[in-house]
Structure formats: structure tokens, C-alpha cells
Amino acid sequence: MNKYFAGIDLGSMNSAAVGSTAERACLPTTMGWAKDELARMLVGDGILLGDELEQNRMALEVVRPLQDGAIKFGSPTESQEGAARRRDDDAIVFLLRRLLQQIHLPLTDETRCIVGVPSRASMQNRQVVLSMVQQVIPTVALVPEPFAVAFGLFPEIRHALIIDIGAGTTDLCHYYGAFPTPDDQITLKMGGDRLDQWLLEAIEARYPECILTLELVRKLKEKHGSVNFVTDATHVSLPTKSAGVETFDITEILQEYCQKFANEIARSAVELVEQIDFTCRQETIGNIVLAGGGSSLKGLDTLVENACGDFGTCNVTRIHDSRFAGADGALRLAMKLPEAGWQQLNQGSSGGGSDHECDAADQKAA
């Protein structure tokens, strides 16, 4: 019987899958359900995503179940009853099935899959992710997202630092050809969503007459956001409470909060480099790679280079394809991994650092 393999990157904003079938798919990690009985009569009982969701958004209860880097996978709280928790779990399983259908991957006992998760995801989060993926594919292993990116980039053993900037978290990992230990990784509970929220609050405080949404702010950030000092003012047209559209200057706001965001990432990069053995530190800082959707922030590469420049000659590059880099690396690892390697990863998937260790790291990052 033929074996089939898949690499999956479950992201807060988008999720991607690449298969040994030579096909790939990327879907938004945003799903919706009918918000009431009338909407259910029109759109049905199923889960909607992609174009179907956008066409019917006003009639749906829309959620991002992986927002904040899988934090929603924790135990139910008073604000998240069991039914809502099961709904979010069902949404992730639905997303996984849809991704694998789009890459035409046979779901047999011989199919194996590697999934990228945040670097310092808690043991509880890992176990929940693992159990959900196993509802679709029995043989699964989890690896840190930046490790998967690095494995896809470097066919030979070499030292590198991967900084994976997602919507929910920013994950840093020292790659050196072996599976990383907790000391080789840092996860910041801060990604593009956090920057979007900072910008929204700052613009609303400066211009209370504006009508803003996070989606609108995200588009402004992607178009105008920069860490660099800019000489030309950024004027944007925004809707107002008077039902008209006015032009506003958001130059200072963009620069202040983009720099704040970038400085947090640079400080974590320096912290991780300081822990790397001196004998391989130079090679590592010569191979710093920015990955994830947040890697496109203008000037971030130069800022990280300057921050790590005290350690030696530093070179920072951006990943070529931020959508599929993690999934590509996960697939490559799945196809090359021997049986003993699967056993090692399965042990790590269910016990990658204690919750206490990960929570302590998160508190430090926050």
C-alpha cells in the first residue's frame, strides 16, 4: 500500500496544507454559522468559510477558533461553555478535512501528517491539537512552526534563527539540524492581531469621529505600516460618524506602534542569540529568516539586523512564500522522517514542555 504525506500549518489567520500529491491549499482560519433560525433556513446548518462566509457574513456568527495562537484550545471557561467549545473544535476538524480534500490526499491508515504549532505551546494545547488532527489522520506529529519553516529552507545541517510572525503569536527558534529544546525557542503572545488592536485604539483615541474595524485597520497596516522613519505623511480616507468620509493623518500613529511591535521582536531575537553557544553564534546570525504574514512589515529586517549587530555580521532575509513555508517544511520532514523519528516526535507532541514552563515564558513575553 502506498504511503501518503501531508504538511499542515494551522495559523491564526490562514491555514495551509501541502501534500505528497504535489498539490497545496490555503484557507482562512475564519468560519461562520447561521446566527439564528431565519439565517439557518437560508444558509443551512453547516460551517461556512472562504467566499461563502464573505457572501453571508451579516447572517453568520463568525469566529476565529485559533485566534491568539490556539489559546482557545484551553479548558472551557465561564465565558466559553461546553457547546461553544465543541463548536470551535468541530470547526477545526472541518477546516482540516477541507484542506486535505483540496490537496486530494487519501485518508488511509498509511497517510501521515506533520503539523506546525507555536514554539512554546502548552502541553494541553498540543494534546488538543493532536486529538483533533487524529480525527482526520491517525498518524500525526507536531513540530514548532519555525522549525518546520527551517527544515524546508535548509537541506543541509546549518545554524539559523527563524522568526515566524503570525497573527496570534510570534515564534523564534534556533535551528541546528536537531529537534529544538525549550531553551532553543521563544514564543511571544503577540502577533499581527496585537498590532492591529494597538493601531485601532490609537486612531480612535486621536480621531474619535472615525468609524473603524479591525479589518480596515489591518488593510491600512499592510499598505502603509513601516518601522522606518518616513518623511512623507500618510493620509488616509476613513468613514466618520457623520456618515461622510474624511482624510486623516496617521503617520505618527503607524510609526510609533509599528516600532513598538518590531522592538519587542528584536529584543526576543537578542535574548535567544545570547543563549546560543559562541562557536555557532556567528553562523546563526548570518542566517536570520523572517517568516509568517508579519514578515512583510517594512524595515523590520533592518531593525533586527541592527539589534543583533553587536554579536557580529548579521544578515536578515524574508521568506519567499509566507503562506506555504511552514507547510512545505512540514511535508519535507514527514517524507524524510524514519520510523524512529516519528516515535520521537510523537513523544514530544504530547509532552513538549510543562504548562508551568510555557506559562512562565508567556508571562515574561507579555
* Dihedral (CA of 224, 32, 103, 10) sign: positive
Domains contained in the chain, CATH given: 4-153+324-365 (3.30.420.40)
Question: Rounded to an integer, what distance in angstroms lies between the CA atom of residue 235 and that of residue 54?
Answer: 28
Q: Which pLDDT score, from 0 to 100, does residue 120 have?
A: 67
Q: Which pLDDT score, from 0 to 100, does residue 83 have?
A: 64
Whether this model's pTM surpasses 0.75 = yes
For helices 251-274 and 214-224, angle between their N-to-C axes, nearest 10 degrees? 80
- Buried/exposed 335-357: b ≥16 CB within 10 Å, e otherwise: eebeeeebeebeebbeebbeeee
Residue 351: helix, strand or coil by DSSP? coil
Q: Which residues contact 154 (CB under 8 A, 6 or more apart)?
A: 160, 175, 287
What torsion, rounded to 10 degrees, do the Cα atoms 138, 143, 146, 150 define? -90
214 pLDDT higher than 90: yes
Q: How confident is the model at residue 112 (pLDDT cuts 50, 70, 90)?
A: very high
111-117 and 139-144 as β-strands: parallel, antiparallel, unpaired? parallel
76 pLDDT higher than 80: no
Percent of the chain having pLDDT more than 70? 89
**Element (H or E) spanning 60, and its range?**
strand 60-63
Q: Which of 38-47, 64-73, 301-310 has the highest mean pLDDT?
A: 301-310
Phi and psi dihedrals of 336, rounded to 5?
Answer: -100, -15
Beta-carbon count within 10 A of 177 CB: 12
Q: How confident is the model at residue 86 (pLDDT cuts 50, 70, 90)?
A: confident
Beta-carbon count within 10 A of 205 CB: 9
